[in-house]
Structure 1
């Protein structure tokens, strides 16, 4: 490895957006490092798919971080089995699938990892356009966290900045899909369904946004769905 080779940490969930970020970081010429979180979510499918995506991109290192705390405190349909996963989006409220402070914690861990390996970039697939209303997907949150990282890390204090990049922040899901297809992102390896089964439900918030994106992009979603009418 060359001493001046630039490195990026990609927060890799196994989903469509994070896989697209991996494709973007590769195109930008970064040595790829991935970090995936097993946080007590309802299923392990997204972690398994993240492994496949990381293998596809031949990442230099793939870290899987176990955080049982989210499951222990509950408070989200994704981590608490007593809360049902909603089938329809409510545009007027933060949905039950919101995991408290998830991106704040994930990106803080990614920043620590980036500091140790001397990475100058952290990529995360948050979107401020087609998203579920999560407060930790907003541009102002990312701006604030970038500022905090510069104050909180040795690398940044010494003048070697590490920035969080959100290349999808202003893109619709259709725009993201179009970009990813142009970059040959392996969407067939991704998963989005909150229920985490082999065949996506096509009804949950995440499936709805994904299907809408592929439809508006004018192409077929390559993953299987239970209900063929949604494809």
Structure 2
């Protein structure tokens, strides 16, 4: 059994990869250099891949900075201090990112002969991104069924797996620990420094998850606001 895993190097994608491994899949991680403001997550993704001794980890080069519109790609936009009570889609949203990433992963899965694509999207403790919701995943699955040779000619369904979709960050941390996922090799900080800021949305969500799970986050922070 083979599975393509979207691996950013963050907490969620790493736990998602641990889930795929626990189910017995041969792992085919795919990461993206999309001209984001920092390469810290990519460095972590490579370390996570090495931890799992994967045969092949591919990094797709694309340029979402050319589109702009996100604090994660556009240096003219500052990464804001996190606000976990906000219901607005934040400026850290990268337009159509998961749509683009899943499209690449679908092509890779078809060529690699994988029947599953694992993606660590989460619709509970998250920043409100529209491409992390179950509605998006369900509709992309329909597109996947009709957009590949595997689906149309070979009648081979490539299934999008979202094992973290309905989990809280606490649940994700606990699941990762139970599977011995290398959480110490990950980062979630939007600022991408060697020491995480502890103040952006992603850091705050991660720290809250570890605190609620009753365990200490193994990475370093400039500010810990549990």
The offset of 1:59, in angstroms, is 1.2
- Partner-residue secondary structure (3-state), 1:214: helix
Deviations 1:12-47 (A, max 9, x none): 000000000110000000011000000011100100
- Partner-residue secondary structure (3-state), 2:156: coil
**Residue of structure 2 in register with 1:128 after alignment:** 123
- 4+ residue segments displaced more than 3 Å: none
C-alpha contact (below 8 Å) 2:2/2:113 kept by paired residues: yes
The offset of 1:73, in angstroms, is 1.4
For 1:42-57, what aligned pairs fall within 5 Å after superposition? 42-57=37-52
Provide the rounded CA distance (Å) in 1 between the counterparts of 2:115 and 2:201.
33
- Partner-residue secondary structure (3-state), 2:100: helix
**Residue of structure 1 in register with 2:169 after alignment:** 173
The offset of 1:159, in angstroms, is 1.3
For 1:1-231, what aligned pairs fall within 5 Å after superposition? 6-68=1-63, 70-89=64-83, 91-157=86-152, 158-227=154-223, 229-230=224-225
Provide the rounded CA distance (Å) in 1 between the counterparts of 2:132 and 2:55.
27
- Partner-residue secondary structure (3-state), 2:76: coil
Provide the rounded CA distance (Å) in 2 between the counterparts of 1:147 and 1:118.
19
The offset of 1:88, in angstroms, is 2.3
- Partner-residue secondary structure (3-state), 1:61: coil
Provide the rounded CA distance (Å) in 2 between the counterparts of 1:152 and 1:196.
35
Runs of 5+ unmatched residues, structure 2: none
Deviations 1:150-208 (A, max 9, x none): 01011012211111100000000000000010000010000100000111000000000
RMSD over aligned Cα atoms: 0.9
Number of equivalences: 224
- Partner-residue secondary structure (3-state), 1:127: coil
C-alpha contact (below 8 Å) 2:82/2:202 kept by paired residues: no
The offset of 1:230, in angstroms, is 3.0
The two structures have a TM-score, normalised by structure 2, of: 0.97
Runs of 5+ unmatched residues, structure 1: 1-5
The offset of 1:60, in angstroms, is 2.0
Provide the rounded CA distance (Å) in 1 between the counterparts of 2:65 and 2:167.
31
C-alpha contact (below 8 Å) 2:204/2:225 kept by paired residues: no
